A and B are shown apart, each in its own frame.
Chain A
Amino acid sequence: MSIETIICDKSDLIENSGVCALLNDEQVAIFYLPATEQKVFAISNWDPIGQANVLSRGIIGDIGGEIVVASPLYKQHFSLTSGQCLEDETAPVKTYPIALKSDKVVIG
Chain B
Amino acid sequence: MKALNIVVVGNGMVGHHFVDQLALSDVNACITVLGSETRPAYDRVHLSEVFSGKEPSDLALTTREYYEEKGVNAHFGDAVVNIDREKKEAITESGRRFAYDKLILATGSYPFVPPIKGSERKQCLTYRTIDDLGEIKSNAKDSKIGVVVGGGLLGLECANALQNLGLETHVVEFAPGLMGVQLDDGGSKMLRRKIEALGVTVHTQKATSLIDDQSDDTKLRMHFADDTHLDTDMIVFSAGIRPYDQLARKTGLDVGERGGIVIDYHCRTSDSDIYAIGECALYGNMIYGLVAPGYRMAEVAVQQFSDLEEKPSFKGADMSTKLKLLGVDVGSIGDAHGRTPGSVTYVFSDEKIEEYKRLVVSEDGKRLLGAVLVGDCSDYDTLLQYFLNEIDLPESPESMILPSVDGAAPALGASALPMTATICSCHNVSKGDIFSAIDGGCCSVGDVKGSTKAATGCGGCAALLKNVVDDEMEARGLSVDKSICEHFPHTREELYHLIRVGELKSFDALIEKHGTGIGCDICKPAAANMLASAWNDYVLGASHVGLQDTNDTFLANMQKDGTYSVVPRVPGGEIKPSQLIVIGQVAEKYKLYTKITGGQRIDLFGARLNELPDIWKELIDAGLETGHAYGKSLRTVKSCVGSTWCRYGVQDSVGQAIDLENRYKGLRAPHKIKFAVSGCTRECAEAQSKDIGIIATENGWNLYVCGNGGMKPRHGDLFATDLSTETLVKYIDRILMFYIKTGDRLQRTSVWMDNLEGGLDYLKEVIIEDSLGIAEELEQQMEHVVSTYQCEWKTTIEDDDKLKRFRQFVNSKEEDSNVVFVEERGQMRPANETEKSKLIAKSA
Binary interface encoding of chain A residues 45-75 relative to chain B, with 1 for a CB under 8 A from any of its CBs, else 0: 0100011111001111111110110101101
Taking the nearest CB of chain A, how far is it from the CB of B800, in angstroms?
A: 13
Among listed B299-307, B351-359, B517-525, B708-716, interface-contacting one: B517-525
Chain B residues within 8 Å of A20, by CB: 808-810
A22 B558 Cβ-Cβ under 8 A: no
Q: Are A73 and B518 in contact (CB under 8 A)?
A: no
Q: Give Cα A100 to B328, complex, Å.
A: 74
Measured in the bound complex, the distance between the Cα atoms of B669 and A42 in whole Å is: 34
- The verdict on B389 contacting chain A, using a C-beta distance below 8 Å, is no
Docked CA distance A60–B558 (Å): 17
Greatest chain A CB density within 10 A among B520, B554, B609 is at B520
Contacts A14-B546, A60-B518, A61-B524 given; does A8 touch B811 at CB 8 Å: yes
The smallest C-beta distance from A77 to any residue of chain B, in angstroms, reads 8
Chain B, residues 510-531, CB within 8 Å of chain A (1/0): the string is 0000000111110111000000
Question: Is B717 an interface residue when CB atoms closer than 8 A count as contact?
Answer: no
Taking the nearest CB of chain B, how far is it from the CB of A85, in angstroms?
A: 14
Q: Within 8 Å of chain A (Cβ to Cβ): is B553? A: yes
Our pick among B519, B525, B561, B812 for the contact of A52 (Cβ within 8 Å) is: B561
Contact status B805-A58, CB under 8 Å: no
Does B811 contact A12, Cβ atoms closer than 8 Å?
yes
On whether the beta carbons of B560 and A52 are closer than 8 Å, the reply is: yes
A22 and B519 form a contact (CB under 8 A): no
Q: Is B844 an interface residue (CB 8 A)?
A: no
A40 close to B (CB within 8 Å)? no
Closest to B805 in A: A14
Cα-based distance from A20 to B812 in the complex (angstroms): 10
Give the residues from 795 to 812 in chain B that come closer than 8 angstroms, CB to CB, to chain A.
804-805, 807-812
B823, CB-defined interface residue at 8 Å:
no
Check A63–B550 contact: CB distance below 8 A.
Answer: no
Across the interface, do A72 and B549 meet the contact criterion of CB distance under 8 Å? Answer: yes
- The answer to whether B811 and A72 have CB atoms under 8 Å apart is no
| A87 → chain B closest CB, angstroms | 12
A62 near B545 with CB under 8 A, answer no
Least CB distance from B539 to A in Å reads 13
**Cα A30 to Cα B807 with chains together (Å):** 13
Contact of A61 with B519 in the complex, beta carbons under 8 Å: yes
Given A22-B812, A27-B816, A57-B558, verify A70-B546 contact (CB < 8 Å). no
Asked if A16 lies at the interface with its beta carbon under 8 angstroms from chain B, I say yes
Q: Are A15 and B542 in contact (CB under 8 A)?
A: yes
CA separation between A15 and B547, bound complex, in Å? 11
Contact of B550 among A8, A21, A58, A60 (CB under 8 A): A58
Which residues from B are CB-within-8-Å of A58?
521, 550
Q: Which residue from B520, B549, B551, B810 sits with its C-beta under 8 Å from A61?
A: B520
**Is A93 part of the binding interface, using a Cβ–Cβ cutoff of 8 Å?**
no
Structural contact, B525 and A61, CB atoms closer than 8 A: no
Establish whether residues B811 and A70, one from each chain, have CB atoms under 8 Å apart when the complex forms. Answer: no
Measured between beta carbons, the chain B residues less than 8 angstroms from A19 are 805, 807, 810
Report which of B520, B546, B816 forms a contact with A53, defined as CB distance below 8 A. Answer: B816
Residues A59 and B809 in contact in the complex (CB < 8 Å), given A33-B518, A64-B486: no
CA distance A47 to B553 in the complex (A): 18
Contact residues in B for A77 (Cβ distance below 8 Å): 521
Complex-state Cα separation, A62 to B522, whole angstroms: 11
| Chain B residue contacts of A54, Cβ below 8 A | 550, 558, 562
Q: Are the CB atoms of A61 and B550 closer together than 8 Å?
A: no
In the complex, A72→B548 CA distance in Å?
10
Q: How far is the CB of A29 from chain B (nearest CB, A)?
A: 11
Residues of the B chain whose Cβ atoms lie less than 8 Å from the Cβ of A3: none
The interface residues of chain A lying within 8 Å CB-to-CB of B561 are 52
Q: Does A1 contact B (CB under 8 A)?
A: no
**Nearest A residue to B528, CB-CB:** A59
Given contacts A7-B811, A19-B810, A63-B486, contact A35 B518 (CB under 8 A): yes
**B contact residues, total (Cβ < 8 Å):** 37
Q: Which residue of B lies closest to A46 (CB)?
A: B818
Count chain B CB atoms within 10 A of each CB in A12, A67, A72 and give the residue with the most: A72
A95 at the interface (CB under 8 A from B): no
Among A22, A53, A60, A64, point to the contact of B562 (Cβ < 8 A): A53
Q: Is the CB of A57 within 8 A of B553?
A: yes
Q: Contact string, A1-43, partner B, CB cutoff 8 A, digits 1/0?
A: 0000001100011111101111000010010010110000000
A57–B554 touching, CB < 8 Å? yes
Write out the residue numbers on chain A whose beta carbons fall within 8 Å of the beta carbon of B487.
61-62
Whether B814 sits at the interface, judged by CB under 8 Å, is yes
Structural contact, A17 and B545, CB atoms closer than 8 A: yes
Q: How far is the CB of A76 from chain B (nearest CB, A)?
A: 10
The answer on a CB contact under 8 Å between A59 and B810 is no
A12 interface neighbour in B519, B525, B542, B804, Cβ under 8 Å: B804
Contacts of A13 in B (CB 8 A): 810
Kindly list chain A residues whose C-beta atoms are within 8 Å of the C-beta of B816. 27, 53
Residues of chain A within 8 A of B810, CB atoms compared: 8, 12-13, 19-21, 30
- B550/A57 in contact, CB under 8 A: yes
Residues of B within 8 A of A7 (CB): 811
User: When the two chains form their complex, are residues B521 and A61 in contact, meaning their CB atoms are under 8 A apart?
Assistant: yes
Which residues of chain A are near B521, meaning CB under 8 Å?
58-59, 61, 70, 75, 77
A68-97 at interface with B (beta carbon < 8 Å): 68, 70, 72-73, 75, 77
Q: Give B522's nearest chain A residue, CB to CB.
A: A61
Q: How far is the CA of A8 from the CA of B520 in the complex (A)?
A: 26
Most buried by A among B487, B548, B562, B818: B562
Q: Which residues of A contact B808 (CB under 8 A)?
A: 20
> Nearest residue in A to B558 (C-beta to C-beta)?
A72
CB closest residue in chain B, given A70: B521
CA distance in complex: A82, B542 (Å): 28
Measured between beta carbons, the chain B residues less than 8 angstroms from A67 are: 518
Chain A nearest CB, measured from B173 CB (Å): 63
Q: Tell me which of A15, A33, A59 has the highest count of chain B C-beta atoms within 10 A of its own C-beta.
A: A59
A50 to chain B, nearest CB (A): 7
On chain B, the residues within 8 Å of A35 by CB distance are: 518
* Chain B residue at minimum C-beta to C-beta distance from A17: B546
Q: What separation, in Å, do the CA atoms of A52 and B553 have in the docked complex? A: 18
Task: Tell me if A73 and B520 are in contact (CB < 8 A).
Answer: no
Q: Provide the bound-state CA to CA distance between A35 and B560, in Å.
A: 32
The reply to whether B811 and A59 contact each other, CB–CB distance below 8 Å, is no
Nearest B residue to A72, CB-CB: B550
Which of B517, B547, B560, B812 is the one whose CB lies under 8 Å from A59?
B547
Complex CA–CA separation, A36 to B807 (angstroms)? 25
Contact across chains for B558 and A73 when beta carbons are under 8 A apart: yes
Which of chain B's residues has its CB closest to A57's CB?
B550
**CA of A46 to CA of B520 in the docked complex: distance in angstroms?**
20
A14 contacts B545, C-beta separation under 8 Å:
yes
Q: Of all chain B residues, which has the CB nearest A55?
A: B562
> Within B175-230, which residues are at the interface with A (CB < 8 Å)?
none
Give the distance to chain B from A99, nearest Cβ to Cβ, in Å.
16
Indicate if the CB atoms of B520 and A59 lie closer than 8 Å: yes
Q: Please name all residues of chain B whose beta carbon is closer than 8 Å to the beta carbon of A53 when the two chains form the complex.
A: 562, 816, 818
Bits for B533-555, please: 1 = Cβ < 8 Å to A, else 0: 00000000010011111110110
Binding site for A on B (CB under 8 A): 486-487, 517-521, 523-525, 542, 545-551, 553-554, 558, 560-562, 609, 804-805, 807-812, 814, 816, 818, 833
A and B contact pairs by CB, cutoff 8 A, 30 listed: A8-B810, A12-B804, A12-B811, A17-B545, A19-B807, A20-B808, A20-B810, A22-B812, A22-B814, A46-B818, A51-B833, A52-B560, A52-B561, A52-B562, A53-B818, A54-B558, A54-B562, A57-B550, A57-B558, A57-B562, A58-B521, A59-B548, A59-B549, A61-B487, A61-B520, A61-B523, A63-B520, A72-B549, A72-B551, A72-B558
In the A-B complex, list the 8 residue pairs whose CB atoms are closest, starting with the nearest: A61-B520, A16-B546, A70-B521, A72-B550, A17-B546, A52-B562, A59-B521, A12-B810
Other 5 A-B pairs with CB < 8 A, given A58-B521, A59-B524? A12-B810, A21-B810, A30-B810, A61-B519, A65-B517
